[in-house]
Amino acid sequence: MQETWAIHGVYPTIAWTPDNEQLVFWAGGSIHKLDVDDKSVSTIPFKVETNKQIQKAVRFTQNIDSDNFDVKMLRNVQISPDGETAIFEALGHIYKRDLESGKVKRLTKQDDHFELFPQFSRDGKKIVYTTWDDNEQGSVRVVSARSGRGDTITKEPGKYVEPTFSPDGKTVVYRKASGGSILNPTWSLEPGIYSVSAKGGKATLITKSGYQPQFGAANDRIYVMSPWPKPTLSVVELESKQVRKLYESEHATEFRVSPDGQYLAFAERFKVFVTPFVERGKTINIGPKDSQFPIEQLSVRAGENISWSGTSDKLYWSLGPELYHASLAGLFDINQNAETDFKVKSGDNIGFKNTIAEPKTIIEYTG
């Protein structure tokens, strides 16, 4: 046990005396002796003479009662279809940031529940997100991207995550999770991927397995990820509920189909890659070193939380408090160069550096 996690301590805890009549053990800062026959315990006295040099502890003053502070992480960040606004989740609420001015404000004004997993509609007019309250549990809401006012579209409480709009904006697809050791197990029956009208109504189970539901160009099919036995991307027909595996990877953590259905972005080993999206009868094994399709690495350091622009010509990902962007213009055309790439920090300022760069180049700017 001591060779693994030392869950029983890193010191020997017991030993026999040579005559096999007593046990010696350590406890409470002393060494003790237990007589096996009469169960009596005595202390074995000892002292150690030594010199210890004590260094002054390094301490920094921390202000833990501040009304305002910089957010250090972007969660579920997405750019509006017109490329002007970013929405993201921080400290349990959804915020909007104007990318030109840098102005940040809450999407809603409520403080009754947490707001999670925001997603723009394809026209940019609506935002869907899920809520959570420890007592009331969660719901799926559709609100105005401008005012933040809207309605709950689910009829019963639940643990809802990863909502997304269909291309025509008429349907919302989301994942319902189950309870566990931390979450209340009630309202956990029949977890899976569901669809519901964007105006609310009865939800329909699409598939019992998978996560990260997403649409491509069509309204009648979704794409879902599965982690086992390998990370996979499958397509599910909404009408027939038929599931077909399209891609398989050794280490992918995300798959994101572009809104026009022409490209597939994926993250593997903390890097962001993009490749033309192909559907065929046989499952495609995809990876950074794949040779059957052109694959381009976009991130220099690392990235996660991949999202697409509304026109499928730009790709976004986040890394801590920073939002990265890369253009796909000319990426798979050797006769053209990629357009400007830039990085946006979530602080007060925002900066751009324009240049013509070869594909895979990221121009970094700290604003």
Q: Please report whether residue 295 resides in a domain.
A: yes
Walk across the sheet containing 204-207 and list its strands.
159-165, 171-177, 192-197, 204-207
pLDDT of amino acid 346 = 36
Q: Which of 185, 208, 231 is the last residue of a domain?
A: 208
| Pair 253, 337 in one domain | yes
Task: Say if residues 192 and 206 touch (Cβ distance below 8 Å).
Answer: yes
For residue 287, which phi and psi values (nearest 5 degrees)? -170, 170
For residue 335, which phi and psi values (nearest 5 degrees)? -90, -5
pLDDT of amino acid 68 = 82
pLDDT of amino acid 143 = 98
- The tally of domains found in the chain comes to 3
Listed as ranges, residues in the chain with pLDDT below 70 are 1-4, 6, 8, 11-12, 333-367
| Pair 249, 357 in one domain | yes
Residue pointed to by tokens 């315990």 = 41
Instruction: For the chain, report the end-to-end CA distance as a whole number of angstroms.
Output: 50
- Contacts of residue 229, Cβ cutoff 8 Å, sequence gap at least 6: none
Q: Please report whether residue 32 resides in a domain.
A: yes
Q: Please report whether residue 64 resides in a domain.
A: no
pLDDT of amino acid 92 = 93
| Pair 144, 18 in one domain | no
* Domain residue limits at 263: 219-367
Task: Say if residues 234 and 193 touch (Cβ distance below 8 Å).
Answer: no
Peptide bond into 276 cis (omega under 30): no
| Pair 164, 39 in one domain | no
- Contacts of residue 89, Cβ cutoff 8 Å, sequence gap at least 6: 75, 76, 77, 95, 115, 116, 117, 118
Task: Say if residues 326 and 341 touch (Cβ distance below 8 Å).
Answer: yes
Among 321, 315, 319, which residue's Cα sits nearest to residue 360?
315
- Contacts of residue 168, Cβ cutoff 8 Å, sequence gap at least 6: 122, 219
DSSP bridge pairs for 204: 195
| Pair 42, 10 in one domain | yes
The pairing of strands 150-152 and 171-177 is unpaired
Among 84, 76, 65, which residue's Cα sits nearest to residue 114?
76
- Read off the DSSP letter of residue 158: B
| Pair 170, 261 in one domain | no
Q: Which of 27, 57, 87 is the last residue of a domain?
A: 57
CATH number of the domain at 149, please.
2.120.10.30
Among 325, 320, 359, 329, which residue's Cα sits nearest to residue 341?
325
Q: Please report whether residue 187 resides in a domain.
A: yes
| Pair 236, 257 in one domain | yes
Q: Which of 143, 177, 208 is the last residue of a domain?
A: 208
Q: Please report whether residue 62 resides in a domain.
A: no
Residues 306-328 have pLDDT tens digits of 999 999 999 999 998 889 999 99
Strands (E), 99-149: 104-106, 114-120, 126-132, 140-144
pLDDT of amino acid 231 = 95
| Pair 159, 236 in one domain | no
- Read off the DSSP letter of residue 59: -
Residue pointed to by tokens 């509609």 = 121
The pairing of strands 41-44 and 232-237 is unpaired
| Pair 254, 367 in one domain | yes
Q: Please report whether residue 33 resides in a domain.
A: yes
Q: Please report whether residue 158 resides in a domain.
A: yes
CA distance 259 to 218: 9
DSSP bridge pairs for 158: 138
Task: Say if residues 167 and 205 touch (Cβ distance below 8 Å).
Answer: no
pLDDT of amino acid 1 = 53
Cα dihedral angle (108, 86, 118, 252), rounded to 10 degrees? Answer: -160
Walk across the sheet containing 41-44 and list its strands.
14-16, 22-27, 30-35, 41-44
Does the CA dihedral 228-172-191-186 come out positive or negative? Answer: positive
pLDDT of amino acid 335 = 44
| Pair 348, 323 in one domain | yes
| Pair 118, 197 in one domain | yes
Residues 120-147 have pLDDT tens digits of 999 999 999 999 999 999 999 999 999 9
pLDDT of amino acid 27 = 86
Task: Say if residues 156 and 187 touch (Cβ distance below 8 Å).
Answer: yes
| Pair 352, 232 in one domain | yes
CA distance 24 to 15: 5
Q: Please report whether residue 41 resides in a domain.
A: yes
